[in-house]
Amino acid sequence: MLKQLLQLRSARLALGLLALVLLLALVGPLVSPYPPLAGSPEILAHPSAKHLLGTDYLGRDVLSRLLSGSPVSVRAAVQVALIALFVGALPGVLSVYLGSVVEWLTLRFVDTLIALPFLLFAVSMTALLGNGITQAMVSVGILLAPANYRVSRAAALSVARSQYVEAAMLSGATLSWIVRKHVWSKVLPPIAITLASTLGHGLVVVASLTFLGIGVRPPEPTWGGILASDLGYLSYRPYAPLFPTCLIMSTVWACNLLADAIRDVSGESGRLLLERVASPTARAAQPPRQP
């Protein structure tokens, strides 16, 4: 699958952009020209040879703050995606094979998560556990888990009803062997698509929360926090919000592009599966098909 994925131009472009963002997260603080918290008398300076992206309202170099804020923003988005994967995908697969009790419990748990107010739950969790990026990302990852649960469960159900799985069960194969040999190979492509989409969604949520000051303690630089500080001085530097916005948008676009590429490689069955579980509201609004 990886070889087929690399043959797509869109996948190579998405992976290249994500590799660049990962590089910024790894070496950004090391190559920043100034300390991210160091102020200077040059307040709200325009871009120049000394400050390539200008300075903010405290005279701090914007480029240095963007580079130093990359690890926090990227790491938080990855945490959200992994938590959503673990909390959603694993119970989604197991609910198909561990009996009706586990199925009922996991379905009610997912229904509860869907009903929770997103922002209110994140604020409550940070207030309860402390205003830290890890605490905020745990709550966000849990709230994004239902999408992974629905996709993995639908994929596992389609495999569980197949003849070769029924034949393996009749021949005495154990549940762990069936899941390892037959289920994961069919479930992984839809989960990979959802994981890529969740990574982009998580980055948007991280930027939104840090924009509001949730999950980070100022003056710690983050992409969302830098965007929030720039909006207060648009009359002096109207172009300033473009820098963090372009970073966020390009990263999210690359994640969505990668998800589309994985969907194209996984084939028609993966596409139909995702369409079937992605938008229940849209499905309910569709008229019934004529026999």
How confident is the model over 88-130, as pLDDT tens digits?
888 888 888 777 888 888 888 888 888 887 777 777 777 777 7
In this prediction, residue 251 carries a pLDDT of 93
**Intra-chain end-to-end CA distance of the chain, in Å:** 37
Residue 227 lies in a domain: yes
In this prediction, residue 184 carries a pLDDT of 75
Within 10 angstroms of residue 199's Cβ, the number of other Cβ atoms is 25
DSSP-derived secondary structure letter, 32: -
* Tens-digit pLDDT profile for residues 177-189: 777 777 777 788 8
Q: H helices of 144-267, where?
A: 145-160, 163-170, 175-178, 184-211, 223-231, 242-266
- Say how far residue 158 (Cα) sits from the centre of its chain: 26
In this prediction, residue 267 carries a pLDDT of 66
Residue 157 lies in a domain: yes
Residue 288 lies in a domain: no
10-residue averages of pLDDT along the chain (291 residues): 80 92 91 89 90 91 92 90 89 82 87 80 76 80 88 83 76 75 78 89 87 79 88 88 92 92 71 48 40 39
Residue 289 lies in a domain: no
Residue 148 and residue 82 in contact, taking contact as beta carbons nearer than 8 Å: no
- What is each CA distance from 276 to 31, 88, 163, 182, 279, in whole angstroms? 46, 17, 22, 22, 7
Residue 286 lies in a domain: no
Ranges assigned E (strand) in the chain = none
In this prediction, residue 178 carries a pLDDT of 74
In this prediction, residue 281 carries a pLDDT of 38
Residue 118 lies in a domain: yes
Contacts of 198 (CB under 8 A, 6+ apart): 80, 81, 84, 85, 144, 147, 148
Residue 77 lies in a domain: yes
What is the domain range of residue 229? 2-43+51-277
Distance CA 253, CA 161 (A): 36
In this prediction, residue 65 carries a pLDDT of 92
DSSP-derived secondary structure letter, 45: P
Residue 83 and residue 139 in contact, taking contact as beta carbons nearer than 8 Å: no
In this prediction, residue 102 carries a pLDDT of 84
CATH of the domain at 13: 1.10.3720.10
Residue 284 lies in a domain: no
In this prediction, residue 132 carries a pLDDT of 75
In this prediction, residue 62 carries a pLDDT of 92
In this prediction, residue 252 carries a pLDDT of 93
- Domains held by the chain: number: 1
